[in-house]
Chains A and B, each alone.
Chain A
Amino acid sequence: MTGYILRRLLEVVPTILLVLTLVFFALRIMPGDPAVAALGEFAAPDAIDRFREKLGLNQPLYAQYFAFLAQALTGNFGNSMNNGAPIGDLLAQALPYTIALALAATAIGIAIGLPLGAMTAVHRGGKIDAFGRFFALIGFSLPDFYFGVLLLLAFSLHLDWFPMLGGGKGFLDQLHHLVLPAITLGLVMAAFVMRLTRSSLLEVLKRDYVRTARGKGVAEHLVIFKHALRNALIPVTTGMGIYLLTTLSGTITVELVFSRPGLGTLLIGGVSARDYTLVQAGLVVFAFFVVVVNLATDLLCAAIDPRIALR
């Protein structure tokens, strides 16, 4: 197990390095000069030169690359090109909103998806199952941001039950602001969790030990909850770990729908303001999340099912 953890941790190093390299070059092949983009087409040539110097854009590519790596690894991204605010501060302000949204949505997704998935598997072919199929079909087809727009229209603009704009002040107000965005992403995730739980449980219910348990007269609810569901949850856990990243990327569009502060709002704002340094930092943070969540999922799976570590 220790060997597996070490090996998995070591694998993170080349991954992060490769991701950072990709981000760096993706931004460099972007058409147009970032200095011209920031200052406008008619900026004075010496202003552009000064700007390039300040950002280190006049340095050779390899020097820029190493400077970028150093920045990314120390978390010191410099200042926003647009308003001069330290990017570290901007990220620190945005992060809690995004994390709160992703976690709340995940909680809703599990709370609805897990029981619904188990019920549809147990009552396979019944009315609940038909409802579950319909729910999943909608969940997989309705884009989360459009669902958010519909919720916003109904519950915020017409019924005025929930606020829009911003993230709220104080704990209760923040919670109030969190409800609709979290339901938006949570219900979409619930559809995924439901389908995963259903197929996993159906698979387990076919196993010999379930037949044995039934054969020796164990009560049906014990067969389901103690024998089947526990084993069915292993693939569900892995799936949810990976889906957490899908939910995280969903926060980008949903933040825009609800005008909510967060990483997505920061990144997209950076793109439309052509704030090169901000976009660069935002991309690194998202990439960092991907690496960390994947690592955590792998380790969690190895803890649940030690056979994985032996492969």
Chain B
Amino acid sequence: MNVPIGKLTAIGGGLSLLLILLAAFSPWIAPLDPLDQSFLTANQGPTAEHWFGTDAFGRDVLSRVLFGGRVSLAIGILAPLLSALAGIWAGMLAGYLGGWTDRLLSRSSDLLMSFPTLLLGVMIAAALGPSFQSAVIAIAVALFPRFVRLSRSATQVVRREPFIDASIAAGRGTASIVLRHVLPNIAGPLVVALSLWIATAIRLEAALSFLGLGAQPPAPSWGNMIRDGMSDLVGDPWPAAFAGAAITISVLAFNMVGDALRDLLDPETGL
């Protein structure tokens, strides 16, 4: 721990927030229309007019990176949130109820867990056919078992606490206990996991759209910008280079937030 945790959290958090804001307000920030083509200005490196250069169709790369961030970050944040919403509930029920609910949910999430996230994502997106929705579904399903497992094991610990027995004795229903007493007590590790898995999801989305399985052109996403840029890397490496840098910085930012939060909440595992 040479760098103070607060500083890392601030840098990572600030960077993440900045990226989200840039993507959200891209229609107002972007200098040009990301779909505007002009063959007169095709394949230019960075200039005063086009800070990040232009692509093979003369489209402004800076505007495309900004607009691409909308798609990439939207999927990268939406998919883990959906996954968390379903996975946390499933995990809490499995951990709280035990018995066959637990066996069924644990076994099926173990099975899904045996697949690496990228492979599972590619398999699902390949089966569903390429689109924005497939990418969201593929990433959400790939992360789902991880949320189930985490919230299940955290719930099992909380379940043994005396205040749960007290609530049962006081006549509270299962749903109410899980919502009011279990959820707040397991929220810490879940928030850490969520920020780390947003980083994973951004990387997954990039890989899927790089493979042509995510958001479809002409709408830019960081992954499909690299894919498009591959056709003329020698002549014009700028679109691929800047899109890749955007992915790397976003993943780094969310990873920093997650790591810092983890060290903050659980200093032991941060070794």
* Residues in chain A within 8 A of chain B (CB atoms): 15, 18-19, 23, 26-27, 29-32, 125, 130, 137, 140-143, 145-146, 149-150, 152-153, 157, 198-199, 202-203, 245-246, 248-250, 252-253, 256-257, 267-268, 270-272, 279, 282-283, 286-287, 290-291, 294
* A121 → chain B closest CB, angstroms: 9
12 residue pairs from A and B, CB less than 8 Å apart: A18-B111, A26-B123, A143-B207, A146-B244, A153-B237, A153-B241, A157-B234, A199-B271, A248-B119, A249-B116, A279-B127, A290-B114
Segment with Cβ contacts to A, from B91-99, B165-173, B210-218: B210-218
* A215 → chain B closest CB, angstroms: 24
Is the pair A250, B233 in contact by a Cβ cutoff of 8 Å?
Answer: no
Given A202-B271, A283-B127, A249–B114 Cβ distance below 8 Å? Answer: no
Contact among A23, A125, A252, A290 with B211 in the assembled complex (CB-CB below 8 Å):
A252
Segment with Cβ contacts to A, from B151-159, B183-191, B248-256: B248-256
Is the pair B237, A26 in contact by a Cβ cutoff of 8 Å?
Answer: no
- Closest residue on chain B to residue A256 by CB atoms: B211
User: Is the C-beta of B79 less than 8 angstroms from some C-beta in chain A?
Assistant: no
* A28 → chain B closest CB, angstroms: 9
Is the pair A279, B126 in contact by a Cβ cutoff of 8 Å?
Answer: yes
Is the pair A245, B244 in contact by a Cβ cutoff of 8 Å?
Answer: no
CB-CB under 8 A from A152, the residues of chain B are 233
User: Is the C-beta of B198 less than 8 angstroms from some C-beta in chain A?
Assistant: no
- Closest residue on chain B to residue A283 by CB atoms: B123
Assuming A143-B207, A282-B126, A291-B114, what are 10 further A-B pairs, CB within 8 angstroms?
A30-B129, A143-B244, A143-B247, A145-B210, A149-B229, A249-B116, A252-B118, A290-B115, A290-B119, A294-B114
A252–B122 CA distance with the chains assembled, in angstroms: 9
A82–B251 CA distance with the chains assembled, in angstroms: 38
* A201 → chain B closest CB, angstroms: 10
* B5 → chain A closest CB, angstroms: 14
* B243 → chain A closest CB, angstroms: 8
A145–B205 CA distance with the chains assembled, in angstroms: 12
- Chain B facing A: main interface SS: helix
Residue-by-residue, is B122-147 near A (CB-CB < 8 Å gives 1, otherwise 0)?
11101111100000000000000000
A283–B230 CA distance with the chains assembled, in angstroms: 26
Given A137-B252, A152-B233, A199-B271, A249–B122 Cβ distance below 8 Å? Answer: yes
CB-CB under 8 A from A19, the residues of chain B are 111
- Closest residue on chain B to residue A199 by CB atoms: B271
A146–B248 CA distance with the chains assembled, in angstroms: 9
Is the pair A27, B127 in contact by a Cβ cutoff of 8 Å?
Answer: yes
Is the pair B251, A143 in contact by a Cβ cutoff of 8 Å?
Answer: yes
Is the pair A268, B211 in contact by a Cβ cutoff of 8 Å?
Answer: yes
* Residues in chain B within 8 A of chain A (CB atoms): 2, 111, 114-116, 118-119, 122-124, 126-130, 199, 203, 206-207, 210-213, 226, 229-230, 233-234, 237, 240-241, 244, 247-248, 251-252, 255, 271
CB-CB under 8 A from B126, the residues of chain A are 267-268, 270-271, 279, 282-283
Contact among B115, B123, B230, B252 with A141 in the assembled complex (CB-CB below 8 Å):
B252
CB-CB under 8 A from A125, the residues of chain B are 2
Is the pair B226, A149 in contact by a Cβ cutoff of 8 Å?
Answer: yes
CB-CB under 8 A from B211, the residues of chain A are 252-253, 256, 268
Is the pair B119, A149 in contact by a Cβ cutoff of 8 Å?
Answer: no
| Tally of A-B Cβ pairs under 8 angstroms | 119
Is the pair B226, A146 in contact by a Cβ cutoff of 8 Å?
Answer: yes
Which interface residue of A30, A146, A271 has the most chain B CB atoms within 10 A? Answer: A146
CB-CB under 8 A from B129, the residues of chain A are 30-32, 271
Is the pair A287, B123 in contact by a Cβ cutoff of 8 Å?
Answer: yes
- Closest residue on chain B to residue A267 by CB atoms: B126
Is the pair B240, A143 in contact by a Cβ cutoff of 8 Å?
Answer: no
CB-CB under 8 A from A137, the residues of chain B are 252, 255
A245–B271 CA distance with the chains assembled, in angstroms: 26
A287–B115 CA distance with the chains assembled, in angstroms: 8
* A157 → chain B closest CB, angstroms: 5
User: What are the 5 A-B residue pairs with the smallest beta carbon separation, nearest first?
Assistant: A249-B119, A146-B244, A26-B127, A141-B252, A249-B118
Is the pair B116, A157 in contact by a Cβ cutoff of 8 Å?
Answer: no
A117–B128 CA distance with the chains assembled, in angstroms: 40
A32–B129 CA distance with the chains assembled, in angstroms: 10
- Closest residue on chain A to residue B3 by CB atoms: A133
- Closest residue on chain A to residue B246 by CB atoms: A146
Contact among A157, A267, A291 with B233 in the assembled complex (CB-CB below 8 Å):
A157
A201–B210 CA distance with the chains assembled, in angstroms: 37
A290–B211 CA distance with the chains assembled, in angstroms: 21
A141–B127 CA distance with the chains assembled, in angstroms: 27
Is the pair A271, B248 in contact by a Cβ cutoff of 8 Å?
Answer: no
A8–B251 CA distance with the chains assembled, in angstroms: 37
CB-CB under 8 A from A130, the residues of chain B are 2
- Closest residue on chain B to residue A147 by CB atoms: B244
A150–B243 CA distance with the chains assembled, in angstroms: 12
- Closest residue on chain B to residue A32 by CB atoms: B129
Which interface residue of B126, B129, B212 has the most chain A CB atoms within 10 A? Answer: B126
- Closest residue on chain A to residue B251 by CB atoms: A141
